[in-house]
Homo-oligomer: A and B are copies of this chain.
Amino acid sequence: MQSSFSQEQVLFREIVSNTLRELSPMDSVRGHLDSALGYDPEVWRRLTSESDLAGTHIPETLGGAGLGDVELGIVAEEMGRTLYTGPFFSSAAMAGTALIEAPEGPLRDETLGRIASGELLATLVTGDLADLSSIEGLRIDAAGALRGEAPLVVDAARADRWIVLAEDQGEAVLVAVDRGAEGVVETRRQSLDPTRRLGRLRFDGAVCAPVGPLDRTSLERLSDRLCVALAHEMIGGARQLLESTVEYTKQRVQFGRPIGSFQGLKHRCADLLMELELAAAVVHHAARVLDGAGGDAWTPSLAKAMASDVYIECAKAGIQLRGGIGFTWEDDTHLWYKRAKSSEVLFGAAHVHRERAIQRMEAAQ
């Protein structure tokens, strides 16, 4: 029960899906979890230079594919399915989308071009990862230098360039800080989710290059777009989990029968599939709305909330229905579970987004 994608979008998904399954199977993901980088650089090179995925939603004029939020969502969804750990989400989705929302200019355009080609890794730095439309915590001082702390930065250590959302005389601005700049203290932080790396950045009058201002609309749009991209990643993960769990229940025999023949398990899986289909429909719709199909301003928040809920439910079921083996380190299920937990709170938890959706509805009335 997929929502209606165009022929091209269906084909695009198929290509992305096949590429990821081929290039980044689970043993590759697991093999790099503890490596210095946390991902296979060769796979990333091929995903960018051969498949051009990093430029999916970056304008063609800047070297990207010029596609929209629907296609960005498709990539995120398939990466969620395969639990891809490379820097796509931080660099292309987070930093990329922030720059796209900024006014055109040489620094923005050059950065976007290099993000698209994969030669430069960036990430988005904000003072509050729970609310992307907030500009608290980081500010430009009178001398034009950057001050403040970003306590949680996705892929901080991987980025060559930090795209920082800061406050400048009450307004939101985007500035760029290159790795190696003075006045930056970077700390690696221990992430609950081993597939999502985190760091802390302190800026004590760091030299930064202005990218441009972000007005209220752009800021909210940025938040909406990243929530929707993340929501895609989540429903991809949820679907993978549900499928693999159902498959497990068909194979696993207890009491002389496959456990998938027990009605208690069947009903739980049926409920999850229903919940997933509704969430997926809203998530896909939200991307179309962002792509200008028109629609209601509350869909991004509903999408994030619903995707959060169904992902964590699928993750809990994934462990539970596997029994003890699902709770072991050796089994893969816990990696999705941890991704579900980290995605649940990233960019704001479900209850925050439910409240925001109602606020948007009130504003629209």
Contact = CB atoms under 8 A, between A and B. Distances in A.
Interface in A258-281: 262-264, 266-267
Contacts of A266: 264
Nearest to A266: B264
Contacts of A267: 264, 267
A316 B89 CA distance: 44
A135 B15 CA distance: 67
A262 B266 CA distance: 11
Q: Which bucket holds chain A's interface residue count?
A: under 10
Contacts of A263: 262-264
Nearest to A262: B263
A262 B267 CA distance: 11
A338 to B, nearest CB: 27
A43 to B, nearest CB: 43
Contacts of A264: 263-264, 266-267
Interface in A221-276: 262-264, 266-267
A256 to B, nearest CB: 15
A157 to B, nearest CB: 40
Nearest to A261: B263
A340 B263 CA distance: 29
Contacts of A262: 263
Interface string A96-126: 0000000000000000000000000000000
Which of A262, A266, A267 is most buried by chain B, counting CB atoms within 10 A of its CB?
Answer: A267
A267 B267 CA distance: 10
Nearest to A268: B267
A188 B262 CA distance: 52
Interface string A313-345: 000000000000000000000000000000000
A17 B262 CA distance: 39
A264 B264 CA distance: 5
A105 B262 CA distance: 66
A263 B259 CA distance: 12
A124 B35 CA distance: 71
A362 to B, nearest CB: 20
For the complex of A and B, 7 pairs with smallest distance between CB atoms = A263-B263, A263-B264, A264-B267, A262-B263, A264-B264, A264-B266, A267-B267
Interface of A: 262-264, 266-267
7 contacts: A262-B263, A263-B263, A263-B264, A264-B264, A264-B266, A264-B267, A267-B267
